[in-house]
Chains A and B, each alone.
Chain A
Amino acid sequence: MSVLLTVDGLSKAYPGVIANDDVSFLIERGEVHALLGENGAGKSTLVKMIYGLVRPDSGSMTLNGAPFSPAEPRVARASGVAMVFQHFSLFEALNVAENIALGMENPPAMRDLARKITDVSEAYGLPLDPARLVGHLSAGERQRVEIIRCLLQDPKLLIMDEPTSVLTPQEVDILFATLRKLKQEGTAILYISHKLEEIRALCDSATILRRGEVVATCDPREKSARELAEMMVGKVLQQTKARGADLGPVALDVRGLSLPPATQFGTPLRDVSFSVRKGEVLGIGGVAGNGQDELLAALSGERGTRDGVFVNGQPISKLGPTARRRIGILSGPEERLGHAAAPDMSLTENALLTGHVRENLARNGFLDWARTKAFAERVVKEFDVRTPGVQAAARSLSGGNLQKFVIGREVLQSPDVLIVNQPTWGVDAAAAAAIRQSLLDLAAQGSAVVVISQDLDELMEISDRFAALNGGHLSEAVPAAGLTLDQIGLMLGGAHDLEPA
C-alpha cells in the first residue's frame, strides 16, 4: 500500500475556539481510515478542509505526493476527493437521476445517466431506481443517492460523515459490504463516526481527535470499544445507574392514533397504539422521518387529533399544549433551536416558554420575572448547564448545554408523563449520560417517560420496553431486556425491503 493523502500540521481557529490544532495523519490507498471523536472534537472542520469547504489557517496537505490545497469543493472533486454529508442536500420533488444530474459539472443525457446509475448501483450492491422521487425514499435510500453521486466521479478518497446514524442495522450491513468492495478496488475511505463497534468492524486504522488535537492513532481492531471511548472522551465514563422496576398503573394510553403528515413528504401516523405505566420508560426507535415528529406533535398537543390519546383514562386528544401541561403532560422536541427554545431569547425567557403554567410564572397573564429567573437558575444549577448566566441567549450555548437546559426545564416541572424526541442528539458523551440519568431518575420517581430516539444503544440502556416506528406504524412494545440487534433491526423494517443485490 502507498500513501494517498498526508495531512501535516493543519490548524483552524474560529473566534473563541480552536477547531483544529496542528492535526497530522496519513491515509493509504485502499484503507478505511476512521476519524473518531466526540461532538465538537473538530472532525467536521478537518474534513471540510480536506474537501475545500474551509481554508486552514496553517499547515499543508499532499494528495498522491503533490501539494493539495483545494480552494473550493469543485477543485477537491476534480482531484478525486468525494464526500457524503451527514445531512443530505437533495430535492424531494425531483427524482433520483435529476438530483444526481444537478450535482454534476457536465451531466450526460438523462437516459445515459439513468443507465449509469443502475450500473453503478448494481456493481456496488446499492439497489436504487433512478426514476423514483426522492421525497418517497427512506433515509437509507437517500444516502445511497448521495453515495452513487460520489461514485460516479470515480473518487480516490471517499469521505463519509456519520453515515450510519440514519440506517437500520441491516442497512448498515449493506453499506459496509459496499465500502469493503470499494476498498478492494483501491479507494481510500475516511470514515467519521463516534460509534465504536462499527469502527472496530470496518476500519483499518483510526485517528482520534479530542478538542481539536490528535490524541492517538491506532488500529481499532486491537483496542476494545471501552479503550477507544476513553481515548475519545479523555476520562473514564460513568455508566448510567440501573433502577428497580416498580411500575404503577397506566398513565399514558394511545389507541388507534392516526394523523395526516404536516408536510407533503412527511409521514402520517397509522393506527398507533401503545401505553406507558407510571415509573416506566418506553423507548421508541426508528430511523428519522418515520413519523417521530408527528408522534411528538400529537402527544405534546401541538397538533390536535380527533381521538386516541388518553391520560389516566381521560381523553386529551383535543387539548392544546397549555392545557396538557396543566394536567402534567410535558414534552421535549428534537430540534433545540427554534422548536424547544427560541434562539435569540434569554434562558430566563426560554424557561417561561413551557414553564409558565406549572411553575405559576404568570398571574392573570402578568409575568413574574423574578420567579421566572429563579426557575431558570434552578434548571441551570441542577442540570449543570454551562452558561455565563440566565441572561445569555439560547443560541450562544453549545448544543449539549442547551439540551440539558431544555430537558431540565421539563424534568424539574415534575411531569406525570414526559415525552422526549432525540434527547441526546448531537450532545457530547458526558452531557448525554447526564440527560439519560435524569430521565431514569424521573421514572424512578413515578413518572411515565417516552423516549423517541434513533440511537439504539441509548434506548437499550434506559428503556423498560421497546417499540419501533416504521413508516408511521408502531410495532408492539416488547421488553427491552434480551433484545438482540438483529431483532431490533427487523422491527425497524429491516433494510426497507431491499436486500443486497
Chain B
Amino acid sequence: MITLERRPEPSRMWQAMTPILAVVLTMIAGGLLFAVLGKDPFEAIRTIFWDPLFNPQFASYSRPQLLVKAAPLILIAIGLSLGFRAGIWNIGAEGQYIVGAICGAAVGLAFYPTEAIYIFPLMVLAGAIGGTLWAMIPAVLKIRFGTNEILVSLMLVYVAEQLLASMALGALRNPDGGGFPGSRNLQQYPSAANPELIAGTGAHWGVVAAFIAVIAAYVLLNKHLLGYQIKLTGQAPRAARFAGVRPNVLIALCLGISGGLAGLAGLFEVSGPAGQISIDFNSFYGFTAIIVAFLGRLHPIGILLAGLLMALTYIGGELAQFMLGIPSAAIQAFQGMLLFFLLGVDVLSNFRIRIKRKQVA
C-alpha cells in the first residue's frame, strides 16, 4: 500500500526537482500520445525541443522567435505570480493584455503622423495604465462587495475581446486600409514602433522590460517588506492580518501590478511583433502565462526559465505541426500536460511516499 506522509517541512530539493521531473514526465506521456497518433515519438520530441534551436534549417528563424514569444509570457507571469503568492487569483491577464495594447496603440495612433521621441514612452505609459485600470475592476469589486476575483477577471477577458473587435472595426481602423479591419501598422510608424534592438536576436523593448521585471520581482520578494507581506498573506492570511497587513491594499496592489505588466506586454506586442490592432490580435499569452507562473514555481528566476521553455514548446509545436503533421490539438494537450504533471508531482515537496505492505487484520 502506498501512503503519503507529510514532511515536517517542505523539501527544498524536491521543490527544485519537481519542474524538471514534470518536463521529463511530459516528454514521456507526450511521446506516447504522439505514438498513438502514428508519429515517431522521438522525432516529435526532437522537433519540439531541439530543432527550433539547433537545426540549421530552422534555427535562424526560430531562435529569435524564442525571445519574442517568451518576453510577454514572462512579463505577464511575473505579475501574476505576485498575486498568486498572496492568494489573489487574477485569471484575466489576457483581458488586461488586450486593453493595454488598445490603450497604448490608441495613444500612438493619435499622434500619427507626428514624429517625436516622446511618443513611444507615452504609449508604454498608456499600455501600463490601461492594463492596471482593467485589473482594478475586479479589485474594486472584491474590496467593495467581496466578489470573486477569479470569475470577474476571467469574464472581463471576453469583454476585452469584444472591445478589441470593436476597436479593430471602428475607432482604431486604418482610414487608409480600404475598409479592411485592423489599425495602421505601428511598425511602419517609426516614433511608435517597438523594433528589434539587436538584429537577429528577437530582442525588443518587451524583452528588456521582462528582464527588469524578473529582477525587480526577485528583489521585492526577497529583500522587501511588501514581498514578505505578499508571501505571508498567501501562506497564513490570519497571521498576515496580525502582522499588520491590510488585505484590501494588498488586493489592489497585486491586481494592479499584474494588470499593469500584462498591459505592458500587450503594448510591446502590438507595437512590435504584431504591429497592429486586429480582431485576432490576442494569442492566449495571458492564459499561457498562468502555466508559466506555476511551472516557474512562482519564483522570478523559475518563471524566466519556464517562459523560455514554454516559448520553445510553442515554436517547436508549430514546427511539429508543419513538419510532421501533428494536429494542433495534440500540441495543446502536450502543453497542458506540463501543468498537469507539475501540479501532480508538486505533492512530493510536502509529502514523502512510503510503500508499506498491507497489514493483515
Residues of A within 8 A of B (CB): 15, 55, 69, 71, 300-302, 320-323, 325, 331, 333, 335, 338-345, 349, 352-354, 356-357, 362, 365-367, 369, 392-393, 395-396
Contact = CB atoms under 8 A, between A and B. Distances in A.
Contacts of B239: 338-342, 353
B235 interface: yes
A90 B243 CA distance: 31
Contacts of A356: 225
A362 B361 contact: no
Contacts of A354: 242-243
Contacts of A302: 241-242
Interface of B: 5, 8-10, 223-226, 228, 231-232, 235-236, 238-244, 246, 359, 361
A134 B207 CA distance: 59
Contact of A325 (B223, B224, B244, B361): B244
A431 B29 CA distance: 53
Nearest to B226: A365
Contacts of B8: 393, 395-396
A365 B220 CA distance: 10
A322 B244 contact: yes
A343 B236 contact: yes
A23 B238 CA distance: 40
A97 B225 CA distance: 51
25 contacts: A69-B361, A71-B361, A300-B242, A302-B241, A320-B244, A322-B244, A333-B242, A338-B236, A339-B238, A339-B239, A340-B239, A340-B242, A342-B240, A344-B235, A352-B228, A353-B232, A353-B239, A354-B243, A366-B223, A366-B224, A367-B225, A393-B8, A393-B9, A395-B9, A396-B8
Given A301-B244, A354-B243, A393-B10, A342 B224 contact: no
Given A302-B241, A365-B224, A393-B8, 18 more contacts: A15-B5, A300-B242, A321-B243, A323-B244, A331-B242, A338-B239, A339-B236, A342-B232, A342-B235, A342-B239, A342-B240, A353-B239, A353-B242, A356-B225, A365-B225, A367-B225, A367-B228, A396-B8
Contacts of B232: 342, 345, 353
A392 B7 CA distance: 12
Contacts of A343: 235-236
A352 B224 CA distance: 12
Contact of B242 (A339, A345, A367, A369): A339
The 5 closest A-B pairs by CB, nearest first: A322-B244, A393-B9, A321-B244, A342-B236, A396-B8
Contacts of B246: 320
A436 B137 CA distance: 50
B224 A345 contact: no
Contacts of B240: 342
A321 B242 contact: yes
Contacts of B242: 300, 302, 321, 331, 333, 339-340, 353-354
Nearest to B9: A393
Contacts of A352: 228
Contacts of B224: 365-367
B147 to A, nearest CB: 20
A393 B15 CA distance: 15
A392 B10 CA distance: 10
Contacts of A392: 9
Nearest to A339: B238
A345 B235 contact: yes
A26 to B, nearest CB: 24
B244 A335 contact: no
Contacts of A342: 232, 235-236, 239-240
B9 A396 contact: yes
A495 to B, nearest CB: 33
A343 B8 CA distance: 10
B300 to A, nearest CB: 16
Task: Output the residue of B223, B225, B246 with the most chain A CB within 10 A.
Answer: B225
Q: Which of B240, B243, B359 has the most CB of A within 10 A?
A: B243
A243 to B, nearest CB: 29
B125 to A, nearest CB: 24
Contacts of A15: 5
A365 B359 CA distance: 56
A55 B236 contact: no
A366 B226 CA distance: 9
> Which residue of A320, A335, A344, A354 has the most chain B CB atoms within 10 A of its CB atom?
A344
Nearest to A342: B236
